[in-house]
Amino acid sequence: MSNEQNSSQDEDLYAIHNRLFFRVFQLGNTLDRQSAKELGVSPVHWAVLGALSREKVREGMSFSDLTEYLGVSRQNLDGVLKRLERDDYVIRFADQADRRAKKVILTPLGFEFWEQLQLKIYEFYRQAMEGFMFDDKATFVHFLNKLNAGMNNASLQPSDQKK
């Protein structure tokens, strides 16, 4: 293959990558706008409430585990939790095993709010995914997981400078 063919293929690959990542960016913005408009909560608030509503964390979840689970920064999560605390949907408290560590728990009002959101969320999902067959949805999840893993593994530092 000639250098000219390689260059053309590289340009095509760059263009499709650029389009794909731009669409992911647009998708995030649309989710942000539509969830606020239709559900009255931001996607990150929605995600925090959902994470804390799971049966296995009914007794609370450490702040650190919650940041890992959601893939958000400590600073972003702190801001979200402050608003949820103001609304009396969550409480932060010291972990009994490690008093320096904070845990987060959904309050009864938080559970009630989460339960009230469920029918709206289900309908939001149904409408957003209209036109997708079940196999399309499963494949889409698979590819999103692959993209997320690829982004998490991306590093522009030379291998000798990685920590």
Count of positions (residues) in the chain:
163
Q: What is the pLDDT of residue 162?
A: 59
Q: How far lies 148's CA from each of 19, 50, 136, in Å?
A: 16, 20, 18
CATH of span 42-153: 1.10.10.10
pLDDT at 9: 76
For residue 47, count other CB atoms closer than 10 A to its CB.
Answer: 18
pLDDT, position 96: 79
Per-domain boundaries in the chain: 1-40, 42-153
The pLDDT of residue 101: 79
Say how far apart CA 40 and CA 92 lie, in whole Å: 23
Whole-number Å distance between alpha carbons of 74 and 46: 17
Q: Along the 163 residues of the chain, how does pLDDT read in single tens digits?
A: 566 666 677 888 999 999 999 999 999 999 999 999 999 999 999 999 999 999 999 889 999 999 999 999 999 999 999 999 999 999 999 877 777 778 999 999 999 999 999 999 999 999 999 999 999 999 999 999 999 999 999 999 887 665 5
CB 117 within 8 A of CB 49: yes
Tell me if the pTM is above 0.85: no
Predicted pLDDT at 7: 67
Give the per-residue pLDDT at 83.
Answer: 95
Cα angle value 6/145/52 (rounded, 5°) = 155
The pLDDT of residue 4 is: 61
| Residue 6, pLDDT score | 64
Q: Give the pLDDT confidence score for residue 51 in this predicted structure.
A: 96
